[in-house]
Structure 1
Amino acid sequence: MNLIAQRLRLRTVSAVASLALASQLAWAVDPFTVSDIRVEGLQRIEPGTVFASLPVRVGETYNDDKGAAAIRALYALGVFTDVRLEVAGDVLVVIVQERPTVASVEFAGNKEFTNEVLQGALRDAGLAAGRPYDRALADRAEQELKRQYINRSLYGAEVQTTVTPMERNQVRLTFNITEGRPARIRDIDIVGNRAFSDSQLKGLFDLDTGGWLSWYTKSDQYSRAKLNAALESLRSYYLARGYLDFKIDSTQVAMAPDKEAITLTVNVTEGERFVVTGVSLDGNYLDKDDEFKSLITIKPGEPYNADQVAETTKAFTDHFGNYGFAFATVEAVPEVDRANNRVAIVLRADPSRRAYVRRINVQGNTRTRDEVIRREFRQLESSWYDAEKIRLSRDRVDRLGYFTDLSITTAEVPGAPDQVDLNVEVKEKPTGNISIGAGYSSSEKLSFTFGLSQENVFGSGNKLDLQLNTGKYNRTVVVSATDPYFTVNGVSRTVDVYYRTQKPYQDQGGNYTLVTMGVGLKFGLPVTELDRVYLGINAERTRIKPGTNIPAAYLAYAEKFGYTSSAFPFTLGWSRDSRDSALAPNSGRYQRLTGELGLFGDARYVKGNYQYQQFVPLSKQYTLAFNGELGWGKGLNGRPFPVFKNFYSGGLGSVRGYEQSTLGPRDVTGAYIGGTRKFTVNTEFITPFPGAGNDRTLRLFAFVDAGALYGEDEKISGDALRYSTGVGFSWISPLGPLRFAFAVPLRKKPGDRIQRLQFQIGTSF
């Protein structure tokens, strides 16, 4: 009878079907005082996790409402698939079934992504080894994997999940992936354009229907980000040409049934073209209206140009910043006369309040020391905010070349309306560079040049260079170390140690050698933000080692002045660099002037060299580049110019199409001995590589080179002039900028050495 009563008292509370039914129990339980709570079914979850979630404790009264709340709370933990409550006497029994745990996540069939990349994507979606498993989470994981493939234009990718049970309530998840082929853009249609042709507008896009280089550029693979960029380029193009009412009505992306072809349709309304009738100022301009008017680039009488409007408002905002008004706002308000297609621009300004910089915060420099960045800043802490100094500071840090991304943002200081903080965010990049060159000729055979440069040694901002040339007749080892801030005022110091062995090029060979070794010390003084002057002195010792087939010029110099010459030349230089990029410049100018004066020692001479480069942007895609170089040398105190200081010409860096250093005078043995006067002119027309779109890392160029080299007593004439033309391509490769040229000499003389194919990594022109 007691056994029957005990069984009748046993009541079960179940919520397997639904949490919504948790409060509607199959059997009601009379309230009672809980003397103990027992948990059954746990494998990995700690009992304390269950006890902490229960709304009832030992010694408290249990009722149906608390039972329903307990079930809801335990399900909310997300680690149980089943929860039941049973009552045995005055003991509450909690029976749970844990969710399986993911033992491992594996992939099969993936080629586009590595396992590590896909595991990282799933981890962000909440699925990883050691976490609880449920089917809904696996479905989300499948969708996340598909999203990753869609970002690579693999719209047909399929993902199937295999769940393999394992011991201790664990499962192994295997995602079987069928990647398919990338969806290619089959066609791009622009509807509604009348003022400009389809080809003009499509040329603005980084998306196209593909070409023979699409495997590299992937320009025919659709992505939403690329489409948005293309639409913005289209909008900017029209707004910069007077179409004030231009709008993009709609964009359709049509996918073929096989999910491997896409058609893009862009519907536009051009509107009418508007002409600017005038520009006026409105608001507070600090009684400096004339200064602000001089910054206006909007031109009345010409079509409305949104680029000019944006440029003007930015110039106004920056100019307010030069006076410390960091929060100035400038708004360009168009007053449109649609009847006559005219527009007047009103520039409304509110300088707000003046501010000063409280603190400069540097973030993201995991390698480079703070000091290296801060010493480039012209905006100082606790000084008035100066937009011009901030821009200059940003440019100086950017020109260090240590960072791929650099941004400076202004943040207001809470509770201090007249203060701002500058947050400098940088992203480090590798600062070690390798330059490799190779060439082949009948005299030098196969020769290599190697350079190793570290521009930021141990994050200190110091530079270390190693140059090595392994040519058969010309070998060089140069070690150079530069401290750009030898003094706090920005004076740099460079120490050079070099060792060279040289032979002129000749067919007969020979075992003579010209050996030069030396050390140098050079200081660089900043004159302006773009200009720097260099002063230095070298100590050199040059030895002519006689042997068979020694050039007559070297033998004559050695017999008269000795086989060993010492020199202590002073060096003087100046450089100015305003290019927009050192690797792939599109605009700007570079100039370099160097001088060398030997007054002491055995060699007495003066030597100078001037280089000029100009880059002229013809459009977004095309650039015209000029390079010119002049060299001059002369002996002093009645001595001839030292033959081992001669200039050389021919090959990459001078006149392409001729073997390296084979232009100019030769002595009676036929050896190329260089000259004391030279000039070189290079012109290049640079275009995007066919099929590469607007990618500036891979470009094609056509060139014309001209140059001449003269001896000390040789009369300057056009007879020594050599010129060539050809084509080539440049590629900013992982090892550095590579340039490959095929040249055709346009003027050849008997004895000229021709080398039509030449390439080098890490050079310019």
Structure 2
Amino acid sequence: MKRLLLPAVISALMIAEVHAESFTITDIRVNGLQRVSAGSVFGALPLNVGDAVDDGRLVDATRALFRTGFFQDIQLGRENDVLVISVVERPSISEITIEGNKVIKSEDLLRGLQQSGLAEGEIFQQATLEGVRNELLRQYVGQGRYSANIETEVVAQPRNRVALRININEGSVAAIKHINVVGNTEFSDEELSRLFQLRTTNWLSFFRNDDKYARERLAGDLERLRSHYLDRGYINMDITSTQVSITPDKRDVYITVNIAEGERYTLRDVRLSGDLKIPREEVEALLVAQPGQVFSRQVMTTTSELITRRLGNEGYTFANVTGVPEPHDDDNSVTLTFVVEPGNRAYVNRINFRGNTKTEDEVLRREMRQMEGGWASTYLIDQSKTRLERLGFFREVNVETPQVPGTVDQIDVNYSVEEQPSGSITASIGFAQNAGLILGGAISQNNFLGTGNRVSIGLNRSEYQTRYNFSFVDPYWTEDGVSLGYNAFYRSTDYDDLSYDIASYAVDSLGGGINIGYPISEESRLNFGLSVQQDSIDTGRYTVDEIFNFLEDEGDEYLNFKASVGWSKSTLNRGVLATRGNSQSLVLETTIPGSDLSFYKLDYSGQIFFPMSRDYTLRVHTRLGYGDSYGSTSDLPFYEHYYAGGFNSVRGFRDSTLGPRSTPSDGSNPGTVADPDQRPLPFGGNLLVTGGMEVLFPMPFVQDQRSLRTSLFWDIGNAFDTDCPSTSPSCTSIDFSEMASSVGVGLTWITALGPLSFSLAMPVMKPDNADTQVFQFSLGQTF
């Protein structure tokens, strides 16, 4: 503004010198206009024809014209009684060129320049350009680029225009050379340094980029440092000063944090005050903070949240619970009082749904655990939101609880959903090392006609298996959430080619079944099923004596009726590639009277995720199976055997090659070895034991990790036979010293074609006759 007023003052002095006497304006003439219209000048000029003017009014007029920003020089003169205004317009910007920038995109820079008034066609002002230059330098300094330099050039062009050249040298980011905390006596430098996200340069800095100074990240580190002390009783801890210095070459940064720890305080007493609304003993049971403990701000906050949530479950949605610490410096203790302000109990007026253009309201409403007219329970509202997310019909679910206008005790619960495709008509192609080329097609709809029912028709074909299936599930066959499902299938499996490393036989299966699921809690269900299955066996040219013996005793065609009962529980945060929660399932399946064979199978699978940090998770998993015959059937049918090895089992070993083996014999002469050089082939067993651990970690340089899983894993397991026949020297009975084990790295990527899985494994324990396979991949299945 001072720059604008200076020419005005000079012009005013000239006016005072030449026009010492006042006069009445008979006309106004403007000279020097090129782009600015005369109307813009007269609109800003506080003088008109007929006005009497003196030196003061002329100075005010000059200032008014300068304030328009259109002119860089203005002179007022007089010819008789005519006011002559001579102006020199500021140039317009014809072109802006930016060079040298990489970190900040040119589009973002141009957008910022335009917001500051620098754009093509705008009036150029040097002061604005200098302000923008200084702001850009501040942004680069904020990124740790202290050596950044910005040079500007104004190139004059014809017709009073200028071209702006902005040359940027972004420089290099200064690396943190040393972080020093001064004044700490209770905690070591190593312990405090682990609290900082900022790090000195190390071998992981290239990936983490954590050795680059930024004010915002340092502020977060200082808050974590302060919280570390406050959570351990040092309520008077203070960060007295922080110094950030940079070396003269602007390449290294040194950070020094000075602190005063103060004394450590313990809890003398914990009290409750206010209107509790619920029994005092229930509130006291939520008090995590107890007398005698070291004072912790985190424990205080957690206790307040627990009491607030408990009140919210009783309808006091707007309750406020505040922990008020009262320090006693005489004995370094604290009296902690939780002040409870419950407010009015809120009731739900209406539950509304928005965004469900395809899904019927009833499908959403039956997932509600919060009812209209009832207390507004925080837990039930959140539980209802979780159940909507688990449906799989919606990309996103949000909930709001606005107060009903004109009331003090009523709220509406508004669920906003964003629908996503829940059905597909797909054709797929895949390849797995154990199955070869896999061709598939499916028509599925998880939300059939918006009713929430699941319908699917599928066809899959590989080199050894053909499978057709149809299924239908009504998840709310009754209003209580009892589900009803039924299915039919045809499966033809042919292991007659010895290249599959499985004892050769062919089995054709045709069947169907019905299943009823009964919910016993929010996460658990009981499932009951009945099915019928027709199996036909063909041994081919070569097989093993165990198959001959079974077929001789039981025949080669069976009609079996099966009953199953199962229990399942899941608290996983996602249906695919979960990272939190746990899941378990236990299923008992057995044939029932009227079946040609008598056998049963008991299967258990479980997994649990343990968060190790924000980015790292430990997954522990296991799969156990046991089967046996009963009644007149001699053994568990061989085509119901368990196998181990490969994806979803023990990686690093070829698929289904772990466990008991048997030597193929000539189909025309049982008991005769088909080929003396032929290795024993996997025959499976009636007991399966597999498990392992995985450390899940984020893939470097990938922003969205939801479609990726990378892990370091340890797999262990094998299949056994609890009753190995004496004619099978390669059969493995229960011997845990024969467990196979491997370690390695795995990756699963959810692509448009399906899940693509890789593993690179090194066998650690290798049973006799086991076939290893270091690199494995599969398209179309996850692990």
Partners of 2:85 and 2:492 in 1: how far apart? 86
* CA spacing shift, 1:642–1:305, aligned 2, 3 Å: same
From 626, 629, 646, the equivalent of 2:623 is 629
- Cα offsets for 1:136-180 (capped at 9, x unmatched): 333344344445544543332222334455677665544322222
2:714 aligned with 1:671: no
2:702 aligned with 1:708: no
* CA spacing shift, 1:254–1:552, aligned 2, 3 Å: farther
* CA spacing shift, 1:420–1:335, aligned 2, 3 Å: same
* CA spacing shift, 1:187–1:567, aligned 2, 3 Å: farther
Q: Structure 1 stretch 402-411 or stretch 311-320: which is displaced more?
A: 402-411
Partners of 1:613 and 1:760 in 2: how far apart? 22
2:653 corresponds to which residue?
658
2:522 corresponds to which residue?
529
2:699 aligned with 1:680: no
Partners of 2:498 and 2:477 in 1: how far apart? 45
Q: Structure 1 stretch 605-614 or stretch 262-271: which is displaced more?
A: 605-614
Helix, strand or coil for the counterpart of 2:337? strand
2:328 aligned with 1:337: yes
1:297 corresponds to which residue?
288
2:33 corresponds to which residue?
41
Q: CA deviation at 1:18?
A: 3.9
Matches within 5 A, 1:442-457: none
1:5 corresponds to which residue?
none
Partners of 1:268 and 1:577 in 2: how far apart? 47
Q: CA deviation at 1:212?
A: 2.2
Q: What residue identity is the alignment partner of 2:771?
A: R
From 272, 275, 292, the equivalent of 1:281 is 272
Partners of 1:709 and 1:492 in 2: how far apart? 36
2:746 aligned with 1:746: no
- Cα offsets for 1:9-68 (capped at 9, x unmatched): xxxxxx89545678778266744577x99898364x7877667656678x9868678876
Q: CA deviation at 1:717?
A: 3.8
Q: CA deviation at 1:592?
A: 2.4
With the length of structure 2 as denominator, give the TM-score of the two structures. 0.73
With the length of structure 1 as denominator, give the TM-score of the two structures. 0.75
Partners of 1:151 and 1:452 in 2: how far apart? 54
Helix, strand or coil for the counterpart of 2:770? coil
Q: CA deviation at 1:464?
A: 11
2:669 corresponds to which residue?
none
Matches within 5 A, 1:11-410: 18=7, 26=15, 30-32=23-25, 41=33, 43=35, 75-78=66-69, 81=72, 100-103=91-94, 105-123=96-114, 127-129=118-120, 131-164=122-155, 171-286=162-277, 288-357=279-348, 378-379=369-370, 384-396=375-387
Q: CA deviation at 1:277?
A: 3.0
1:4 corresponds to which residue?
none
Q: CA deviation at 1:247?
A: 2.5
Partners of 1:46 and 1:493 in 2: how far apart? 80
Q: CA deviation at 1:70?
A: 6.5
* CA spacing shift, 1:565–1:176, aligned 2, 3 Å: farther
Partners of 1:731 and 1:223 in 2: how far apart? 33
1:591 corresponds to which residue?
584
Matches within 5 A, 1:537-576: 573-576=566-569
Partners of 1:74 and 1:216 in 2: how far apart? 57
Helix, strand or coil for the counterpart of 2:203? coil
Q: CA deviation at 1:311?
A: 0.7
* CA spacing shift, 1:430–1:97, aligned 2, 3 Å: farther
2:735 aligned with 1:719: yes
For structure 1, the 5+ residue unaligned runs are 1-14
Q: CA deviation at 1:675?
A: 3.5
Q: CA deviation at 1:116?
A: 3.6
The structure that has the greater radius of gyration is 2
- What fraction of aligned residue pairs are identical, expressed as a percent? 32
2:643 corresponds to which residue?
648
Partners of 1:117 and 1:480 in 2: how far apart? 53
Partners of 2:108 and 2:473 in 1: how far apart? 40
Helix, strand or coil for the counterpart of 1:292? helix
Aligned residues: 742
* CA spacing shift, 1:240–1:621, aligned 2, 3 Å: farther
Partners of 2:139 and 2:123 in 1: how far apart? 23
Q: What residue identity is the alignment partner of 1:324?
A: G
Helix, strand or coil for the counterpart of 1:303? coil
Partners of 1:406 and 1:129 in 2: how far apart? 44
* CA spacing shift, 1:560–1:612, aligned 2, 3 Å: same
Helix, strand or coil for the counterpart of 2:151? strand
Partners of 2:481 and 2:26 in 1: how far apart? 82
Helix, strand or coil for the counterpart of 1:590? strand
Helix, strand or coil for the counterpart of 1:332? strand
Q: What residue identity is the alignment partner of 2:690?
A: T
* CA spacing shift, 1:60–1:276, aligned 2, 3 Å: same
Q: Structure 1 stretch 335-344 or stretch 485-494: which is displaced more?
A: 485-494
* CA spacing shift, 1:755–1:332, aligned 2, 3 Å: same
Partners of 2:332 and 2:303 in 1: how far apart? 22
Helix, strand or coil for the counterpart of 2:714? strand
- Cα offsets for 1:81-128 (capped at 9, x unmatched): 566778899998887766555555443223334434444554555545
Q: CA deviation at 1:285?
A: 0.9
- Cα offsets for 1:325-351 (capped at 9, x unmatched): 233222222232333232232222222
Q: CA deviation at 1:698?
A: 9.2
Contact 2:643 2:719 in 1 (8 A): no
Q: Structure 1 stretch 207-216 or stretch 617-626: which is displaced more?
A: 617-626
Contact 1:655 1:722 in 2 (8 A): no
* CA spacing shift, 1:176–1:720, aligned 2, 3 Å: same
* CA spacing shift, 1:32–1:172, aligned 2, 3 Å: closer
Q: What residue identity is the alignment partner of 2:344?
A: R
Q: Structure 1 stretch 250-259 or stretch 511-520: which is displaced more?
A: 511-520
Partners of 2:161 and 2:558 in 1: how far apart? 82
Partners of 1:685 and 1:336 in 2: how far apart? 44
Q: Structure 1 stretch 524-533 or stretch 444-453: which is displaced more?
A: 444-453
Q: What residue identity is the alignment partner of 1:316?
A: I
Q: What residue identity is the alignment partner of 1:753?
A: D
Q: What residue identity is the alignment partner of 1:671?
A: L
Partners of 1:568 and 1:50 in 2: how far apart? 98
Matches within 5 A, 1:398-437: 416-420=407-411
Partners of 1:128 and 1:373 in 2: how far apart? 51
Contact 1:16 1:83 in 2 (8 A): no
* CA spacing shift, 1:481–1:304, aligned 2, 3 Å: farther
- Cα offsets for 1:486-531 (capped at 9, x unmatched): 9987778989999886648955889987787999987866543323
Report the aligned-residue RMSD.
5.8
Q: Structure 1 stretch 146-155 or stretch 406-415: which is displaced more?
A: 406-415
Helix, strand or coil for the counterpart of 1:718? coil
Partners of 1:124 and 1:619 in 2: how far apart? 42
Q: What residue identity is the alignment partner of 1:226?
A: R
Contact 1:453 1:463 in 2 (8 A): no
* CA spacing shift, 1:742–1:183, aligned 2, 3 Å: farther
* CA spacing shift, 1:21–1:293, aligned 2, 3 Å: farther
Q: CA deviation at 1:681?
A: 2.9
Partners of 1:296 and 1:453 in 2: how far apart? 54
